[in-house]
């Protein structure tokens, strides 16, 4: 998978971050909205976003939502509801804003298959042995586009970035 050493993820595209340093580079705790608030906002996106000088919306709770659903329900919800909200966000801001999902512990849950660059999500108990084909559900077969976010002060991935989901 390609690595992103740039800060474009803070201003454009869709990201899933798990490192505290990445979080603090783009937002403050009081600016983060819940997944439920994001879905509600998708009916009428605000003109100004709360983080990063109005360029970024940081959302928490995706991991908890997926944990509450069975794998089959989670797959349906990701492919239908969440993907629709992401597409709506991209359209509303014409690609000139960033949607960032805060996933503390995401490095243990989101796995990149090195041979294919497929991205999977490891389910939690009681479905701990199952995985979701996260990348296929959200960005289809465009596997060459997601990139690992590498912060300036480190060499391990701080998250994943996708410029535009189609």
Give the domain ranges of the chain. Answer: 2-162
**CA–CA dist 120, 136 (Å, integer):** 9
Confidence band of 151 (pLDDT split at 50, 70, 90)? very high
CA 131 to chain centre: 17
18: which residues sit within 8 A by CB, 6+ positions away? 102, 103, 104, 105, 106, 107, 110, 158, 159
What are 98's strand-pairing partners? Answer: 13, 56
pLDDT at 121 over 60: yes
Instruction: Please tell me the predicted confidence (pLDDT) of residue 141.
Output: 65
Q: Tell me the pLDDT tens digit for each residue of 57-106.
A: 999 999 999 999 999 999 999 999 999 999 999 999 999 999 999 999 99
């Amino acid at each position: 998978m390609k690595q992103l050493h740039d800060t474009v993820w803070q201003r454009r595209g869709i990201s899933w971050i798990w490192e505290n340093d990445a979080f603090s580079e783009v937002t403050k705790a009081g600016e983060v909205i819940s997944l439920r608030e994001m879905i509600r906002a998708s009916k009428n996106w605000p003109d100004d976003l709360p983080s990063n000088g109005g360029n970024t919306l940081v959302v928490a709770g995706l991991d908890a939502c997926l944990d509450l659903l069975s794998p089959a329900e989670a797959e349906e919800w990701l492919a239908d509801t969440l993907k629709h909200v992401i597409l709506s966000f991209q359209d509303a801001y014409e690609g000139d804003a960033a949607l960032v999902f805060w996933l503390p512990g995401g490095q243990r849950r989101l796995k990149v298959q090195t041979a294919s660059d497929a991205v999977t999500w490891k389910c939690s108990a009681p479905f701990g042995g199952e995985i979701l084909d996260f990348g296929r559900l959200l960005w289809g077969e465009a596997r060459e586009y997601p990139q690992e976010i590498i912060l300036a002060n480190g060499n391990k991935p701080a998250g994943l970035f996708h410029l535009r989901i189609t």
